[in-house]
Structure 1
Amino acid sequence: MPVAQEMELGYLLVLAGRAVQGASEQAAAGMAISATDLNALYEVSVHGPVLAGTFAQLLGLQQSSITAVADRLEGAGLVQRRRDEHDRRRVWLSITEHGRCTLAQAALTVDAHVAEVFAGLSPGARTALRALLAELVGPWLQQRLPPGAEPGGPGASLPVTSTAG
């Protein structure tokens, strides 16, 4: 069995993502929401209001699949949909106050789990890792977000993974 230092960088990132994803799964298990929907809600909080097509790209879902996710989130009162004023074919999603409260509740579990995942890193190493990942992910986000949108958007300060860095 190879040691982690010998593994490919991409594979290490996948494993790290799975470890962090476990935080969402634990939080969702104690709430009336799936891990998929909790992650989707977080995406809306970070990047919203967001176009449904952009939302699908951020989640890695097909455009046709995003309707069911949006239906569940809207049905639970976690997001609201509205038609674009200038192009009625476009739909915007934004988080509701109930959605913010749900994320705040989930953050209690998520933050504790993520802190465990990164416990072996010094504060300096966490800061360096965050900077490297932001450098890596920034261009990917810019390709998916509408022109003029900033990665992180208006909800980026929500505390869902705040203790990780």
Structure 2
Amino acid sequence: MENLGLGDLKALGPMEEWPVGRLFAAASRLSGPIVWRIIEKHGISPAGFFLLRLLITEDGLRPGEVAKRLLVTPATVTSVVDTLERNGHVRRERSYRDRRGVMLLITDSGRRLLAEKSQPIGQDLARLYDVVDEGDEAAVRRFLLNLIKKFENYSHDEEAKGDGE
């Protein structure tokens, strides 16, 4: 395994002995590119797929809000929306509240595309995560939920406290 941007992994010894945090970081780092390749295999850009999924649940978001939620730049959203709009899957509409603002709306074509692609993509992605034994699932689930809560509650104040002590 390459260093994954996590330093010299050989210095850590056998992977089975790595700290849980390092294992999680390695799995996270490896998952992104693989998830993107799986989605691309289905003939849709990953960014477009995730943008449509966001709009199907919360239609009418502004591009800046979409960028924030998808953890991408506003320029990326503009580029992806340009393509989706050209293909008839999304439309831009002036905000009725603020005529300067633009809202992104999924079209019927975008809904059909998402309906067509979601199940096969979901099945392929599920095969990535079928490595958890049934008896271990509750513990893995607890770990991930607790980790997500920690990430959500993390503040730079806590980071600063750790640096000063």
Using the size of structure 2 for normalisation, the TM-score is: 0.64
**2:113 pairs with 1:99:** no
Secondary structure of 2:98's aligned partner: coil
How far 1:112 sits from its partner (Å)?
1.7
**Contact map agreement 1:24 1:39 (CA 8 A) in 2:** no
Query: Given that residues 42 and 103 in structure 1 are in contact (C-alpha distance below 8 angstroms), is that contact kept between their aligned partners in structure 2?
Result: yes
Report if aligned partners of 1:20, 1:114 keep a CA contact under 8 Å in 2: no
* Gapped regions of structure 1 (runs ≥ 5): 141-165
RMSD, aligned α-carbons = 3.1
- Say if 2:38 and 2:125, in contact at 8 Å, map to a contact too: no
Can you list the C-alpha shifts for 1:24-74, whole angstroms capped at 9, x where unaligned?
A: 43233232x322222222232244321111111122332234222111111
Distance, in Å, in 2 between the alignment partners of 1:126 and 1:41 is 29
Shift of 1:101: 2.0
Q: 2:77 aligns with which of 52, 66, 69?
A: 66
Query: Of 127, 137, 146, which aligns to 1:116?
Result: 127
Distance in 1, matches of 2:101 and 2:153, equals: 24
Separation in 2, partners of 1:70, 1:106: 18
Residues 47, 3 of structure 1: CA spacing in aligned structure 2 closer, same or farther, 3 A cutoff?
A: farther
TM-score (norm 1): 0.64
**Letter matched to residue 138 of structure 2:** G
> What SS does the aligned partner of 1:89 have?
coil
- Which one of the candidate residues 39, 42, 45 is aligned to 1:30? 42
- Aligned counterpart, 2:87: 76
Displacement after TM superposition at 1:13 (Å): 4.7
Measured in 2, the distance between the counterparts of 1:98 and 1:6 equals: 47
- Bigger Rg, structure 1 or 2: 2
Q: Structure 2 stretches of 5 or more lacking a match?
A: 1-9, 155-165
1:80 offset after TM fit, Å? Answer: 2.0
Q: Distance in 2 between matches of 1:136 and 1:73?
A: 35
Residue identity opposite 1:35 in structure 2: P
Asked whether the equivalents of residues 24 and 38 of structure 1 are also in contact (C-alpha less than 8 Å), the reply is: no
Identity %: 22
Moved over 3 A (4+): 123-140
The SS at the match of 1:66 is helix
Which of 119, 125, 135 is equivalent to 2:149? Answer: 135
